[in-house]
Amino acid sequence: MPTTRKVIVDRLEGDVAILKTDDGQEVRWRSADLPFGAKEGSTIALSLRSEDDAKDDEREQTRKLLNEILQSE
């Protein structure tokens, strides 16, 4: 299960964005990996999940897509 926190893009320093959590922690994040349109002052959701959870999600999405393809024929 992913853990999600809202963070604010505090500032941009070259190709690095400094994100701030509501408790004042700072996270350095590559600016190019921010959501499209995010800028200083934007609030974004930062999600963390284990690699196993990510693989499970990918399998489920693949299963759903295959079911849709097979049902449409």
- 58-67 pLDDT, tens digit per residue, is 888 888 888 8
Average pLDDT of the chain is 88
Q: Is the pLDDT of residue 3 over 90?
A: no
**Selection from 31, 32, 34, 37 nearest residue 12 by Cα:** 31
Q: Which amino acid is at 67?
A: N
Structure-token pair, residue 71 = 């049902």
Q: Is the pLDDT of residue 54 over 70?
A: no
Q: Is the pLDDT of residue 57 over 70?
A: yes
Q: Is the pLDDT of residue 49 over 90?
A: no
